[in-house]
Structure 1
Amino acid sequence: MAKSGLFIAAFLVVAGAAIVWQQVQSAPSEGHSMTPPDLSQVAEGGPIVQVTIPAEFSSNAQIGKRVFGAKCADCHGVNAAGQNGVAPPLVHKTYEPDHHGDGSFLLAAKNGVRAHHWRFGNMPPIEGLTDADIKMVVAYVRELQRANGIN
């Protein structure tokens, strides 16, 4: 009985130490902040970021641009620049491939997304898109991101 009590106590001490250690670690200096930018100077409905357009798009991205214009731009803005008070920009470090992989775009379009990085409310599922449509949209967004230094 005493051995099991010691084991439990030791486990709790180690678990507690691990929790404390994680809490005192400083945040990594590289990467990006999950804090949305200050939008107080951006007009309601105005673009949140300025987007540099690549000289040309791949054929998949050209298809994605048309799909984006028909299904996504009403909320995410022209060239995925976002719209203040409506939806976030997809040409933003928050959506870089290492943080939001291509599959996250597929899941977001199909299932919707609970708000977690921005304060625009939840995104509903988008009706009428196939997986192939979303793949083309991702190609378009990724090419826009690369043209804007987001890799």
Structure 2
Amino acid sequence: MSTLSLWTRRDPLAEFDALVRQAFGPAATRRAGFVPVAEVTRDGDDAVVHVELPGLDVEKDVTVEVDRGQLVVRGERRDERTEERDGRGLREVRYGTFRRSFALPRHVTADAVSASYDAGVLSVRVTGAYTGTGARRITVTTGTDAPAIDQA
């Protein structure tokens, strides 16, 4: 008679080691990067995208573009600080690339997009993004008024 066990013997330290490598290994640090907070609001027929980018030099480190129907905001954050404390030097380096993309309506071109930066917030205005997107009521006909529908 053979038995089937649902429990197998595993090395708990090996499992823990695998979890740590998965969470903190080189591939995980590449994926993490810097992800800025973004908010999309409506202003009449325009869409306005606000992206929080405090401390960045937007002229040097940020790119805003329209690519294949997407509004793409991307860049790199670099922050280095050196401090002397109790006779010891402390150096802190934070960096990360980011890329945020937002789908655009088909009728929007790059000419409809403008961007400005103030107080750590990048504001991108997409003029006319909501043009023609309102609800349109369809008349429902009844009985003898209804057009004939070919059911072939």
TM-score range relative to shorter protein: under 0.3
- Relative to its length, the structure with more helix (as a share) is 1
- Using structure 2 for the length normalisation, give the TM-score: 0.25
- Using structure 1 for the length normalisation, give the TM-score: 0.25
- Relative to its length, the structure with more strand (as a share) is 2
Larger Rg: 2
